[in-house]
A and B are shown apart, each in its own frame.
Chain A
Amino acid sequence: MSTSVPRLELLNITKRYPTIVANADVSLSVMPGEIHAILGENGAGKSTLMKIIYGAVKADAGTIRMNGEDIAITNPAQARRLGIGMVFQHFSLFETLTVAENIALVLDEPFDLAALSQRVKQISERYGLPLDPDRRVHSLSVGERQRVEIVRCLLQNPTLLILDEPTSVLTPQAVEKLFDTLRQLAAEGVSILYISHKLHEIQALCDRATILRNGRVTGTANPREESPASLARMMIGRELPVCEAPPYLGERRPMLTVQHLNLTSAGPFGTSLHEVSLTVHSGEILGIAGISGNGQSELMAALSGEHPVHKDAVRLDSKPIGHLNAGTRRAKGLVYVPEERLGRGTVPPLSLSRNALLTAHRHGMKHWGLVRYGKARDYAEECVARFDVRGGGAGTNARALSGGNLQKFIVGREIMLKPKVMIVAQPTWGVDVGAAAVLRQALLDLSRTGVAILVVSEELEELFEICDSIAVLAQGRLSPAQPKTSLNAESVGLQMAGLFPKTPLTVHAEFDHASA
């Protein structure tokens, strides 16, 4: 193994799309055994760059060198032959097939399934990635699925491993395990490209970092020698914004109460809810931590009213609302910001005016069954101005807005409905740092006016930043909410793995109206 020749060198890579330049003149080099971070916000061009290396996208200009030789990578199969492996953010596994079968699907050469299972076992043990090759994927946790993807790469003896935001689906403990594995691989000489926007992870794991902003390299650094603030400056071009959370001094009473909510999931691979109980008070932000797929979407459907449940299972300001649909609940003061912004929170091909009409139509926008489009436009324009929605006015189509600006519009639209309770799923998922800070502050400000807010998020740091108390949803069960001050990332992480006292399943049979 040569130590002077870089394993991978990118020279002046440029990739243009019709509307944006994804990568402009990007150069970087990775040495053998190095863990190299690619740091940048959503939309900074990280994923495009990795897809170019993996042969999934062709660069318009620039040179790629591996071990000192110019190479042209035209497709992923060729990249794999060159020793490049990639673990994608979104897994591509078949739920109904076993681990070994899923791995066999991507092998280019003929294989023997029994022998393959044996190799999967060996590799998974060697790198501390315990995996049963004969289990079907649908029974695996998200962390285990990621192991399948990693083992799938390792089987091909890669010399360069690319991981795209690998920790977004892991508990803090699982993140530590993953890092051990990656360090072991690096010690054996494998180069690792680690894509992330989480500063502390990069500082814990990586030897070097290339920072991207708007498709350009804005700096190269040793992350251990930098502070989070200095890394953030390179990443977003200014100081990391902080939220202010003044104490709430107003009246405090239960606004949203969920009691013994049971819900059988509709899909075969969904998660059913068991005996979920929670209370959100006025002026309080309750966070629900946990990894998506543990009943989050089912809980959101039951709370928002998209999936009505038993009348008494959900109460708003102590009145039963469980049986009502989303529109009626909104009329009573319960608003909802869904995780899916395009296609659920907004109608993509319709203008912001019409998307204001979607949920705000009770606010004087109807007259004898006819729409007063002027009022809807006014509402949208006010929302755009008040919540700093950039990229278009009331006439712009929802799909033309960036993720962060669209989310500002949706959150703003729901806040302007003057709710009593607001439910928000993944408030800043895929949103840039600046917009995320604006959104978090908006939620904090809203709660301090006496509104009860329930936030479901995969980002623990976000929950610790804005919430008053935190509960954990794991395998369809909700842990008792605890004040944020009595918790830390580690204790929440243990609960995310399902390690918390289960609520007793006795009594209260009258609430057991699980709807299919």
Chain B
Amino acid sequence: MHLLEPRPYPSRVMRWTAPLIAVAATLIVGSMLFLALGKDPLESFHVFFVQPLESSYGWSELLIKACPLILIAQGLALGFKARIYNIGAEGQLIVGALAGGGVAIAMEGSDASWIVPAMVVAGAIGGALWGAIPALLKTRFNAEETLTTLMLSYVANHLLSYMVNGPWRDPEGMNFPQSIMFSDSALFRILLEGSRVNTSVFITLFAIVAFWIFNARSFLHFQIEVGGHAPAASLYAGFSSKRAVWLTLVLSGMTAGIAGVGEIAGPVGQLNLNISPGYGFAAIIVAYLGRLHALGIVLAGFLMALIYLGGEAAQVALQLPAAITGIFQGMLLFFLLGSDVFIDNRLRRRLA
């Protein structure tokens, strides 16, 4: 006996309550996890989700982490609507950071004002190129982008490793795999004194507005949406499916690449092996949690940023391993997928 039966129509209410259910379920199971680890759930809860927001510094850190997540997720969401699954944003972020970092390293010592803008452009191009490879493979050889994007992110990782261990290694860095620290002219300017919030937030802010308008009003977005809902209708209308592949993969690569520059020209300040704590992957969850909607993604991005902060706080205050962040991200995705089942299905009613 099946427990579920399909709904006549997908539920709109469920579409927007599913993320709330997922968050609630994550919190409940999370407290049980704390309990099992011998921690007081209420106190852990406080450490994880409240403490990071008790200081203005905490809020500024939240913003720093939310920005790249939101930026990347905006690009990814566009592809997901077309059912083009770019899950290699992490690699595109890295290649973007490499391209931007290259500019910074080449201009070492200069205090020209165009260095940061040039880094952003280079990062956008780097990320876009890394997204263009799976687009080419898909349109030419029908290669599944889910695999190619993921595999290319490992390639990107090794590329980064090679660069910071080889050509771009800081000669005075005591052989650590890292580049030189960038000079101030290659860093985003700090916005709030005493915090790490910098002018790169305006890029994310601009992206939110731009994607919001693009999603709500553009004909291109309509074509992308049609391709995702009904590929045959797309063919019937004469919309190019190849163009949708190129557009979404290149654009999502570009946002990820810019996010990469935001990290190296912001909080990180150099190229090293830890420029991203998995933002490219977490942004996939952010995109779906935000229902692929430009504004929903903003809320989801802040929640995901809080999980990052909470994870750090839990390591310090509760002596929990760093894996706690990953566990919470995983639970969130797991419960989101679980509750999303109820968009198209409902519990079978008992027969009288």
Residues of A bordering B, CB below 8 Å: 18-19, 304-306, 325-330, 336, 338, 340, 343-350, 354, 357-359, 361, 366, 369-371, 373, 397, 399-400
Other than A344-B230, A344-B235, give 5 A-B pairs with Cβ distance below 8 A: A347-B230, A359-B237, A366-B219, A369-B218, A370-B217
How far is it, in angstroms, between the C-alpha of A357 and the C-alpha of B223 when the chains are bound? 10
* Contact (Cβ within 8 A) B233 A347: yes
B226 within 8 A of A: yes
How far is it, in angstroms, between the C-alpha of A328 and the C-alpha of B238 when the chains are bound? 7
* Contact (Cβ within 8 A) A343 B232: yes
How far is it, in angstroms, between the C-alpha of A340 and the C-alpha of B236 when the chains are bound? 10
* Contact (Cβ within 8 A) B218 A330: no
Q: Is the interface of A mostly helix, strand, loop or mixed?
A: mixed
What 1/0 mask marks residues of chain B from 227 to 250 whose CB sits below 8 Å from any chain A CB? 001101101111110000000000
Partner of B236, one of A306, A357, A369, A400: A306
B220 within 8 A of A: yes
Partner of A370, one of B219, B229, B239: B219
Partner of B238, one of A325, A350, A369, A373: A325
* Contact (Cβ within 8 A) B232 A305: no
Residues of B bordering A, CB below 8 Å: 8-10, 217-220, 222, 225-226, 229-230, 232-233, 235-240
* Contact (Cβ within 8 A) A346 B233: yes
* Contact (Cβ within 8 A) A19 B8: yes
Chain A residues within 8 Å of B237, by CB: 326-327, 358-359
How far is it, in angstroms, between the C-alpha of A213 and the C-alpha of B230 when the chains are bound? 33
Residue of A nearest to B233 (CB): A347
* Contact (Cβ within 8 A) B236 A304: yes
How far is it, in angstroms, between the C-alpha of A19 and the C-alpha of B219 when the chains are bound? 35
Q: A370-B219, A400-B9 are in contact. Are A330 and B230 (CB under 8 A)?
A: no
What would be 8 A-B contacts, judged by CB atoms less than 8 Å apart? A305-B238, A340-B232, A343-B232, A344-B232, A344-B233, A345-B236, A346-B233, A350-B225
* Contact (Cβ within 8 A) B235 A347: no
Chain A residues within 8 Å of B226, by CB: 347, 350, 358
Q: A348-B230, A349-B229, A399-B9 are in contact. Are A370 and B235 (CB under 8 A)?
A: no
Q: Which 10 pairs of residues, A with B, have the shortest CB-CB distance?
A: A327-B238, A326-B238, A344-B232, A370-B217, A343-B230, A325-B238, A347-B230, A347-B229, A347-B233, A358-B237
Residue of B nearest to A307 (CB): B235
Chain B residues within 8 Å of A338, by CB: 236
Q: Is the interface of B mostly helix, strand, loop or mixed?
A: helix
Chain A residues within 8 Å of B225, by CB: 350
Residue of A nearest to B240 (CB): A325
* Contact (Cβ within 8 A) B222 A357: yes
Chain A residues within 8 Å of B232, by CB: 340, 343-344
How far is it, in angstroms, between the C-alpha of A373 and the C-alpha of B9 when the chains are bound? 24
How far is it, in angstroms, between the C-alpha of A343 and the C-alpha of B237 when the chains are bound? 11
How far is it, in angstroms, between the C-alpha of A303 and the C-alpha of B9 when the chains are bound? 34
B2 to chain A, nearest CB (A): 15
How far is it, in angstroms, between the C-alpha of A349 and the C-alpha of B240 when the chains are bound? 20
Partner of A349, one of B10, B219, B235, B236: B10
Chain B residues within 8 Å of A397, by CB: 9
Chain B residues within 8 Å of A369, by CB: 218-220
How far is it, in angstroms, between the C-alpha of A330 and the C-alpha of B237 when the chains are bound? 8
How far is it, in angstroms, between the C-alpha of A12 and the C-alpha of B240 when the chains are bound? 54
A488 to chain B, nearest CB (A): 35
Looking at B220, B225, B233, the one whose CB has the most chain A CB atoms below 10 A away is: B233
Chain B residues within 8 Å of A327, by CB: 237-239
* Contact (Cβ within 8 A) B8 A330: no
Residue of A nearest to B232 (CB): A344
How far is it, in angstroms, between the C-alpha of A257 and the C-alpha of B321 when the chains are bound? 73
* Contact (Cβ within 8 A) A330 B238: yes
How far is it, in angstroms, between the C-alpha of A216 and the C-alpha of B232 when the chains are bound? 37
Chain A residues within 8 Å of B218, by CB: 369-371
How far is it, in angstroms, between the C-alpha of A357 and the C-alpha of B217 when the chains are bound? 12
Looking at B235, B236, B238, B239, the one whose CB has the most chain A CB atoms below 10 A away is: B236
How far is it, in angstroms, between the C-alpha of A326 and the C-alpha of B220 when the chains are bound? 17
A284 to chain B, nearest CB (A): 24
How far is it, in angstroms, between the C-alpha of A18 and the C-alpha of B8 when the chains are bound? 9
Residue of B nearest to A400 (CB): B9
Chain B residues within 8 Å of A347, by CB: 226, 229-230, 233
How far is it, in angstroms, between the C-alpha of A344 and the C-alpha of B219 when the chains are bound? 19
Chain B residues within 8 Å of A346, by CB: 233
Residue of A nearest to B213 (CB): A370
* Contact (Cβ within 8 A) A371 B222: yes
Chain B residues within 8 Å of A306, by CB: 235-236
Q: A347-B233, A366-B219 are in contact. Are A329 and B238 (CB under 8 A)?
A: yes
How far is it, in angstroms, between the C-alpha of A214 and the C-alpha of B2 when the chains are bound? 30
How far is it, in angstroms, between the C-alpha of A277 and the C-alpha of B219 when the chains are bound? 37
Chain B residues within 8 Å of A373, by CB: 217
How far is it, in angstroms, between the C-alpha of A197 and the C-alpha of B240 when the chains are bound? 41
* Contact (Cβ within 8 A) A371 B217: yes
* Contact (Cβ within 8 A) B236 A344: yes
How far is it, in angstroms, between the C-alpha of A19 and the C-alpha of B7 when the chains are bound? 11
Chain B residues within 8 Å of A399, by CB: 9
B56 to chain A, nearest CB (A): 39
How far is it, in angstroms, between the C-alpha of A338 and the C-alpha of B225 when the chains are bound? 20
* Contact (Cβ within 8 A) B10 A358: no
Chain B residues within 8 Å of A304, by CB: 236
Partner of B229, one of A350, A366, A400: A350
Chain A residues within 8 Å of B238, by CB: 305, 325-330
How far is it, in angstroms, between the C-alpha of A304 and the C-alpha of B229 when the chains are bound? 21
How far is it, in angstroms, between the C-alpha of A487 and the C-alpha of B229 when the chains are bound? 44
How far is it, in angstroms, between the C-alpha of A354 and the C-alpha of B223 when the chains are bound? 10
* Contact (Cβ within 8 A) B233 A345: yes
Looking at B10, B238, B240, the one whose CB has the most chain A CB atoms below 10 A away is: B238
Chain A residues within 8 Å of B230, by CB: 343-344, 347-348
How far is it, in angstroms, between the C-alpha of A348 and the C-alpha of B235 when the chains are bound? 15
How far is it, in angstroms, between the C-alpha of A344 and the C-alpha of B225 when the chains are bound? 14
Chain A residues within 8 Å of B222, by CB: 354, 357, 371
A66 to chain B, nearest CB (A): 24
B81 to chain A, nearest CB (A): 12
Residue of A nearest to B352 (CB): A60
Partner of B219, one of A18, A336, A371: A371
Residue of B nearest to A18 (CB): B8
Chain A residues within 8 Å of B229, by CB: 347-350
How far is it, in angstroms, between the C-alpha of A347 and the C-alpha of B219 when the chains are bound? 15
Chain A residues within 8 Å of B220, by CB: 369
Chain A residues within 8 Å of B239, by CB: 327
Chain B residues within 8 Å of A18, by CB: 8
Chain B residues within 8 Å of A329, by CB: 238
How far is it, in angstroms, between the C-alpha of A304 and the C-alpha of B9 when the chains are bound? 31
* Contact (Cβ within 8 A) B217 A358: no
A20 to chain B, nearest CB (A): 10
Chain B residues within 8 Å of A350, by CB: 225-226, 229
Residue of B nearest to A17 (CB): B8
How far is it, in angstroms, between the C-alpha of A19 and the C-alpha of B236 when the chains are bound? 31
Chain B residues within 8 Å of A348, by CB: 229-230
